[in-house]
Structure 1
């Protein structure tokens, strides 16, 4: 897949290059292009490149070359004006059908979004408008969600005034299904499950949750921003993961992020819904004759992202994605073996591509690792070192990471394992 993924140029900035002078205001006559580009180069001198083998905290990666090309060619396109760019509505419709097919429901409705946060917000908003509890009773609606839910829901709950009911987790950081089921009643406006938690990559047992919510007539939203492009192909490859899409009876909506493992550029998200009526609940009429009504949060939306997603999906196809997912899972197994061989305690065993490590001082370890040029992260709620495996990493780079981790562990006084 080398020719499909391509490679990015390495960092050109230098740590000792002088920082650009702080501007005092917008210049009267501007600067010539060469000076602007030189200033930008200085501004980005400390940026990392996905291809340079130092980035191990990101679920995003460089987009496919074809997606990059399409995005650059379509920078002026606006999803908010269908008369100027009729291709965008056609592309959005086709992307929705392709992603619906990927998740087992080709007839899904959908809306392209800026990412998982917007898609999750729209799913909650549709549920609130379906439920109507606040209008009837004056009390906030309740949604049940795992303690592992993405922090986008913290924003959403605050914005929409929703009352959350949190379900605890098992030791492997999946939601405790029986407890969650006990928290769901006919008065629940929405239940959320996660197919690939951001912190640990854990996949909730969506079928077991959906069986209960469906019996009660309560909608179930699956946040598959991390796992939407991983789980279907990993299942094809024999990995023991549950189905997480609209092929599961009772799942009413799903969030995906093509800009994660889909090969699309940022920003590229998608909300899929089983029932087109949920899109009607999100409809906001345009004030202009001939302009389509809006279903997303944004008004002016980058059409380039939708076209680039279309290009990525058609370039890779199922076989291409399956090959990429197989390769990233192979790298995950290599990393697990290297970490255990170096004495680090992996916990819990990963479902997807996020590997977590138990360490007495994960923050100090990440800081020491960053001094060596590597970017990792700490899952703060669990006190775990977090490493993300992606297709921009090579075997050599994974070995270099573990060597640097071992050295960093010694620097801060040990404690691995």
Structure 2
């Protein structure tokens, strides 16, 4: 069994209640003192590799990505004249991700993550919609209620109406409820390829087959599943295609900082049609500086170079092997949970394993008291466990042993 931390971490990095945060000091402190203070500040943080993190779809980057990221922290993707390498790296990352999504001619933009990528996809869809129906045409976005909460943020920022559709028993968007709502006036339909709550993968081909004849674009949020679904499909897993091989899919969100081995922040949005990407352009005020397509102006170029390095170092075979190992660990976790009497439901499609329990919150609180981090999918009322490459078989066994212990000690 893995050794647990000797003390439970504090819930936040904030000062204790009633203790104000310190202001800017009058004089700078010695470097060694500052480093010691940083160590103290981070003393309660978890390390992905210490066997305590079971709630995150992010992980420690690949070693090569860590090295590249550390070496290029000053690189600014927003200034192509100082860092001409970054525009090339972004193009080549786009080409590699487009190949992964079966769209060799797709264009793309590096982003800070899935939230920004989804926002850009919706923004492009709104501009396409207004070009078709007029500048005042209402823009309605349809998506499943399991879609990421980034779309709630997007609805607060962009002139769109978000309509959430209930899920079916597998926690995918209910097609019988979704498809009748799609009309030629719909601005966008969003399919989720790996819900962050349950790992459910929507039926992208069925959605696109209905939307495309009506002229309605389909965006696939594959922030969770983009580096999982293609390789699992190659191994024979019964998952639908999620990329540009599906007619009607117009854009895809990917997050290399999840299962791609890149550091945070590293997201990407791909567009089948170059005009969609071009519609996002904002002119620079400076001669010789490229127009911007992302939401951010100053962008961490080190993340793009590190993503490039991770993709080059892994290749298809590396990701294929990594996903196969993840599937083996998922199978082990499911066996351990069911063997201990827990109800795994629904059957996991990707790396999120959900457990039905009368008091999932109490389970998670009890785990955290023992230094283990799991989560509750609050809207679903399910205990949520995430399998990742930072976990070992021993650590998964430890998790289930502790779960069994804390569950047995409660009425």
Tell me the distance in 1 between the aligned counterparts of 2:188 and 2:8: 50
Tell me the distance in 2 between the aligned counterparts of 1:271 and 1:111: 6
Of 129-138 and 184-193, the range deviating more from structure 2: 129-138
Tell me the distance in 2 between the aligned counterparts of 1:219 and 1:15: 45
Name 1:239's counterpart in structure 2. 237
Where 1:385 maps in the other structure, the secondary structure is strand
* 2:101 alignment partner, one of 100, 103, 119: 103
Name 1:83's counterpart in structure 2. 81
Name 1:396's counterpart in structure 2. 394
Kept in 2, the 8 Å contact 1:11–1:49? The answer is no
Q: Deviations over 1:209-266 (max 9, x none)?
A: 1111111111000000000000000011111101001111110000000000000000
* 2:301 alignment partner, one of 300, 303, 311: 303
Tell me the distance in 1 between the aligned counterparts of 2:348 and 2:299: 35
* Structure 1 pair 195–381 and aligned structure 2 pair: CA distance change class (3 A): same
Tell me the distance in 1 between the aligned counterparts of 2:137 and 2:129: 12
Name 1:331's counterpart in structure 2. 329
Tell me the distance in 2 between the aligned counterparts of 1:135 and 1:319: 45
Tell me the distance in 1 between the aligned counterparts of 2:93 and 2:296: 18
Tell me the distance in 1 between the aligned counterparts of 2:6 and 2:221: 37
State how 1:169-208 maps to structure 2 within 5 Å: 169-208=167-206
Where 1:132 maps in the other structure, the secondary structure is helix
Where 2:269 maps in the other structure, the secondary structure is strand
Tell me the distance in 1 between the aligned counterparts of 2:63 and 2:27: 36
Tell me the distance in 2 between the aligned counterparts of 1:262 and 1:380: 27
Kept in 2, the 8 Å contact 1:14–1:45? The answer is no
Kept in 2, the 8 Å contact 1:13–1:41? The answer is no
Report deviation, 1:372: 1.1
Report deviation, 1:23: 6.0
Per the normalisation by structure 1, the TM-score is: 0.93
Name 1:154's counterpart in structure 2. 152
* Structure 1 pair 285–346 and aligned structure 2 pair: CA distance change class (3 A): same
Q: Which 5+ residue runs of structure 1 have no aligned equivalent?
A: 1-9
* 2:362 alignment partner, one of 361, 364, 377: 364
Name 1:3's counterpart in structure 2. none
Kept in 1, the 8 Å contact 2:54–2:387? The answer is yes
Of 258-267 and 363-372, the range deviating more from structure 2: 363-372
Tell me the distance in 1 between the aligned counterparts of 2:141 and 2:403: 40
Report deviation, 1:48: 0.5
Per the normalisation by structure 2, the TM-score is: 0.94
Tell me the distance in 1 between the aligned counterparts of 2:382 and 2:132: 39
Where 1:129 maps in the other structure, the secondary structure is helix
Tell me the distance in 2 between the aligned counterparts of 1:122 and 1:186: 21
Name 1:131's counterpart in structure 2. 129
1:385 aligns with 2:353: no
* Structure 1 pair 277–174 and aligned structure 2 pair: CA distance change class (3 A): same
State how 1:34-113 maps to structure 2 within 5 Å: 34-113=32-111
Report deviation, 1:158: 1.3
Report deviation, 1:32: 1.1
Of 367-376 and 163-172, the range deviating more from structure 2: 163-172
Higher relative contact order (CA 8 A, sep 6+): 2
Kept in 1, the 8 Å contact 2:199–2:352? The answer is yes
Q: Which 5+ residue runs of structure 2 have no aligned equivalent?
A: none
Aligned residue pairs: how many? 402
State how 1:259-298 maps to structure 2 within 5 Å: 259-298=257-296
Q: Over the residues paired in the alignment, what is the CA RMSD in angstroms?
A: 1.9
Tell me the distance in 1 between the aligned counterparts of 2:43 and 2:299: 30
Q: Deviations over 1:38-91 (max 9, x none)?
A: 111111111101001000000000000100000000000001100000000000
* Structure 1 pair 405–142 and aligned structure 2 pair: CA distance change class (3 A): same
Q: Deviations over 1:343-399 (max 9, x none)?
A: 000010011000000000111110011111110000001000000000000000000
Name 1:250's counterpart in structure 2. 248
